[in-house]
Amino acid sequence: MSYEARPGMRVEELDTPALIVDLDILERNISQMADFFAERRAALRPHIKTHKTPAIAHMQLKAGAIGITCAKVGEAEIIAEAGIRDILIANQVVGQVKIDRLTDLARHADVMVAVDDARNVTDLSQAASAKGVIVRTLIEIDIGMNRCGVPAGEPALELARCVASSPGLRLAGLMGYEGHLVLVSDYEERRREVWAALKPLTDTADLLRRHGLSVDIVSGGGTGTYDITGSCPTMTEVQAGSYVFMDTTYRAVRPEFDVSLALLTTVISRPQPAYIVTDAGLKALSKEFGLPKLANIPGADVRYLSEEHGVIDLAEPGAVDLRPGDKVSLVPSHCCTTVNLHDKLYAVRKDIVEGIWPIAARGKCQ
């Protein structure tokens, strides 16, 4: 006898904690985002850090995405193995082992990487030219997040010249991520601030072009800013990712996408009428953006998550008929870090399991 789940099962039969995606909502989110970009100059290159699942990357490409964005070489390796060629690693790739992996991957995929340091450019160039591969390169510009990236203007121009003259590398353009603005709650304020943040990116693109450097790609954006950044005439690519699943945090700023992701849990204890305890804690749900919410039980609030327990208070205990063995769905506050805790994603339509997808890039933080 096997305990493994299989397509055709009803969702209530799944062992828990089980990460569930509602296929109707997932497909709607993917096509809705594709529709937006179908009418824009900018294209969608979705970030797969959210789902880490090749099956979903292929759905995004089929809907019109021009390629895939990753955060890590390990994610890019998984995506390339899944047959996808056009891959941006929207991050610095630093260190000998990482650069070896990146340049080996460049034999089998058309990889693109971000840089913000001249020595790193030299290292990448040496490895790429030694192997006879070409690595497309974006200059990352810090547009206000105070994370990675060179300053706009002259420093970016200087690094771009360095890339342009480095064998094995091809200057592909610029990248700037307005990650500090993706959750600004007031939409008009978000729009104003994003446009202000993109201005130095636009100016730097112009500066590079005036100096005869090619800037085919200007990449940025996330789910919180996709329409703002995606409407900016400078931008050629948007890296949104979370829109496929959504969560309680993104839902607050992006009501046009529904939440397709849920964690199915089992009530393991109801020691008192006023609360239940489920089998999902911090090892199955992240909480850096807040505690998860209950999808279908009014007046129920997660009190806390310990490592393997979720304690849920019931405002109206008499109205809630739940006992050990019953199942309860939770909506994560942050889809990306929650997905990274799971090996499998159960793809469900109208309560029937249609697919069990390996979250193949789970844990690929190297």
| Interface residue with a second copy, options 100, 154, 216, 256 (CB under 8 A) | 100
Helix (H) / strand (E) element for 217: namely: strand 217-220
If one counts every other C-beta atom within 10 angstroms of the C-beta of residue 43, the result is 18
| Interface residue with a second copy, options 21, 159, 175, 284 (CB under 8 A) | 284
**Does residue 365 touch a second copy according to CB under 8 A?**
yes
**Does residue 203 touch a second copy according to CB under 8 A?**
no
**Does residue 34 touch a second copy according to CB under 8 A?**
no
Determine the interface stretch with a second copy among 159-167, 229-237, 249-257, 321-329 (rule: CB under 8 A): 321-329
Q: What's the full length of the chain, in residues?
A: 366
Closest by CA position to 256, among listed 45, 22, 24, 36: 36
**Does residue 267 touch a second copy according to CB under 8 A?**
yes
Q: Considering beta carbons, is residue 214 or 366 the nearer one to a second copy?
A: 366
Q: Considering beta carbons, is residue 298 or 324 the nearer one to a second copy?
A: 324
How many chain residues touch a second copy (CB under 8 A)?
67
**Does residue 279 touch a second copy according to CB under 8 A?**
yes
Cβ neighbours for 55, distance < 8 A, ≥ 6 positions apart: 347, 355, 357
CB of 201 to a second copy, least distance (A): 15
CB of 94 to a second copy, least distance (A): 5
CB of 167 to a second copy, least distance (A): 20
- Which residue is associated with the tokens 């239940």? 276
**Does residue 49 touch a second copy according to CB under 8 A?**
yes
Q: What DSSP assignment string belongs to 104-142?
A: HHTTTSEEEEEE--HHHHHHHHHHHHHHT--EEEEEEB-
CB of 188 to a second copy, least distance (A): 25
At 183, list the tokens.
């959750």
Q: Considering beta carbons, is residue 110 or 117 the nearer one to a second copy?
A: 117
Angstrom distance (rounded) from CA 213 to CA 223: 30
**Does residue 8 touch a second copy according to CB under 8 A?**
no
- Strand segments, DSSP code E, in 37-109 are 43-44, 68-70, 86-92
**Does residue 262 touch a second copy according to CB under 8 A?**
no
Determine the interface stretch with a second copy among 111-119, 181-189, 213-221, 292-300 (rule: CB under 8 A): 111-119
Angstrom distance (rounded) from CA 96 to CA 307: 36
Residue 241 near residue 227, CB atoms below 8 Å: no
**Does residue 119 touch a second copy according to CB under 8 A?**
yes
Q: Considering beta carbons, is residue 236 or 310 the nearer one to a second copy?
A: 310
- Which residue is associated with the tokens 């005869």? 212
Cα radius of gyration rounded to whole Å, the chain: 22
CB of 164 to a second copy, least distance (A): 20
Task: Give the DSSP letter of residue 258.
Answer: -
Determine the interface stretch with a second copy among 116-124, 182-190, 211-219, 248-256 (rule: CB under 8 A): 116-124
| Interface residue with a second copy, options 131, 192, 337, 356 (CB under 8 A) | 337
Angstrom distance (rounded) from CA 263 to CA 96: 39
**Does residue 127 touch a second copy according to CB under 8 A?**
no
How far are the Cα atoms of 23, 64, 110, 232 from residue 241, in angstroms, in the given order? Answer: 16, 14, 20, 19
At 98, list the tokens.
């990482």
Provide φ and ψ at 55, rounded to 5°.
Answer: -55, -40
CA dihedral 222, 51, 338, 144 (to 10 degrees): -20
Q: Considering beta carbons, is residue 7 or 233 the nearer one to a second copy?
A: 7
Closest by CA position to 358, among listed 58, 61, 53: 53
At 319, list the tokens.
């109205």
Determine the interface stretch with a second copy among 29-37, 117-125, 160-168, 347-355 (rule: CB under 8 A): 117-125
**Does residue 116 touch a second copy according to CB under 8 A?**
yes
**Does residue 31 touch a second copy according to CB under 8 A?**
no
What does the binding site for a second copy look like in residue numbers (CB under 8 A)? Answer: 1, 3, 13, 15-18, 49, 71-72, 91-95, 97-98, 100-101, 116-117, 119-120, 123, 142, 146-151, 179, 266-271, 275, 277, 279-284, 286-288, 306-309, 311, 323-325, 336-337, 340-343, 362-363, 365-366
